[in-house]
């Protein structure tokens, strides 16, 4: 679902945006993610860390899911919600499915790599054993603006 502002997730998306800003300040693509516990509290959060850690899997979502699993002491994150500033890619959407999160909430769509409906729809693929609820478009313009600003500044530095 996109285009509408799902009620109740703007505050949590702002927490994810803060993680994105931290990542951007380190030279990472500014994507942030938080995992909410079943009671809505922030269980874990991270920003992209691929450049710093030299790890192609160090996307914000993967790091946040790993932290949340450690915090809960189990890999099943049933009852949890993944909130991310950018529509998850196939790897991150697959991780959300495998972690059994109840819901994935994202901000900006990713027409080039999105796997929550833009390019692919891994999260709602009926062939998979788990399909989280998907809510898109939360603070979409703000989330997209962070990314656009980052890449614009990077292009200017490269000239």
Binding residues for Zn(2+): 59, 89, 92
Binding residues: 59, 89, 92
Pairing of strands 81-86, 42-47: unpaired
Query: Is residue 61 annotated as a catalytic residue, yes or no?
Result: yes
Helix ranges (DSSP H) in the chain: 10-25, 50-53, 60-72, 90-99, 140-158
Residue 79: name the closest of 90, 64, 68 by CA.
Answer: 68
- Catalytic residue chosen out of the listed positions 5, 28, 61, 158: 61
Active site residues: 61
């Amino acid at each position: 679902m996109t285009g509408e502002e799902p009620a109740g997730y703007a505050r949590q998306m702002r927490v994810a945006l803060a993680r994105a800003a931290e990542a951007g300040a380190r030279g990472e693509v500014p994507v942030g993610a938080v995992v909410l516990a079943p009671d809505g509290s922030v269980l874990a959060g991270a920003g992209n860390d691929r450049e710093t850690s030299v790890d192609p899997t160090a996307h914000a979502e993967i790091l946040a899911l790993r932290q949340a699993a450690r915090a809960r002491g189990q890999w099943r994150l049933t009852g949890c919600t993944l909130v991310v500033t950018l529509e998850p890619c196939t790897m991150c959407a697959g991780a959300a499915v495998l972690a059994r999160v109840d819901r994935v909430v994202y901000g900006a769509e990713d027409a080039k790599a999105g796997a929550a409906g833009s390019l692919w729809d891994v999260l709602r693929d009926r062939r998979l054993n788990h399909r989280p609820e998907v809510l898109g478009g939360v603070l979409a313009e703000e989330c997209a603006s962070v990314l656009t600003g980052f890449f614009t500044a990077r292009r200017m530095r490269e000239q």
